[in-house]
Amino acid sequence: MAGAYDDRDGKIWMDGKLLDWRDAKVHVLTHALHYASSVFEGERCYNGKIFKSAEHSERLLRSGELLDMPIPYTVAEIEAAKTATLAANGLKDAYVRPLAWRGSGEDMGVAAKRNPVHLAIAVWTWGAYYGDAKMKGAKLDISKWKRPSPETIPHAAKAAGLYMICTMSKHAAEAKGCSDAMMFDYRGYVAEATGANIFFVKDGEVHTPYPDAILNGITRQTVIGMLRAKGITVNERFIKADELEGFEQCFLTGTAAEVTPVGQIGGYMFEVGALTREIATDYEKLVRA
């Protein structure tokens, strides 16, 4: 599958029906387009099985609740819709994108209680998110934008509006020849990349930011469990900027990123070391088990 994302062959599930890809549309006065009332998930299907599928569906519903936007489907209904969409497109290895949003209705202001909440699911083939970085390590910029305080945003929701500064940060990074950008949080602690959680290695132990102002990713949680099962100490803590110089290895985790080593963040260099390669290999085996 190739070409613009609105001009492809295939089927998209939308509000209970499988539509031709090009017919899955919304009105220009859709509330989400004006006020970012939208939540989504990113999932990967390996060999016909979506990794942690039910957990993603559960998080989608929680995200809707956090935005005061109840999604009118159950986990079981969402799971069935994902299965039907994959089958309709004939895909067993794919990226899966459930998306819920407030549509157009009687309200066209900040408040939108009378507007219906819709759900769509699209699937497509998608390779490595960072290209060849899995071998040589991704190069990251350091973003000028910071992840906001949890008093200002529902940081536990995977909500479209929270990604605005991520898009801006990634564009700035790409203009410098980088794959992505690392962001600090509102306090100045290391937070995450624009669409992935971040880990560091030093003296055989792993360090990762405490997720009190960032999304606690499903892949992040999975990798922490894998590391601890190996007897490796994982420190979830606040990481200061001046600590970057002392870390030996770095890697990113996320559904799209999977486990991707990082070779550089700004002026800081990291080796693509044995522990990073090992956990990346183990994760690949786990998702395809």
pLDDT tens digit sequence for 248-275:
999 999 999 999 999 999 999 999 999 9
Same domain for 157 and 105: no
pLDDT score of 131 = 79
CATH number, domain with residue 49? 3.30.470.10
Domain that includes residue 34, residue range = 11-124
Q: Is residue 33 part of a domain?
A: yes
DSSP-derived secondary structure letter, 23 = G
Condensed to tens digits (0 to 9), the pLDDT of residues 141-197 reads 999 999 999 999 999 999 999 999 999 999 999 999 999 999 999 999 999 999 999
- Cα dihedral 135, 254, 191, 164 sign: positive
CA dihedral 87→88→90→95, nearest 10 degrees, is: -80
| 172 in the same domain as 118 | no
Number of domains in the chain: 2
**Does 3 have pLDDT greater than 90?**
no
For residue 47, the SS3 value is coil
CATH for 258: 3.20.10.10
- Whether 1 shows a pLDDT value over 80: the answer reads no
Question: How far does CA 128 lie from the centroid of its chain?
Answer: 14
Query: Of the candidates 67, 89, 124, which is a domain's last residue?
Result: 124
pLDDT exceeds 80 at position 130? yes
Residues designated as active site: 158
**23 and 110 both lie in a single domain:** yes
Q: In this predicted model, what pLDDT tens digit does every residue of 79-101 receive, in sequence order? A: 999 999 999 999 999 999 999 99
Nearest residue to 237 via CA among 275, 283, 191: 191
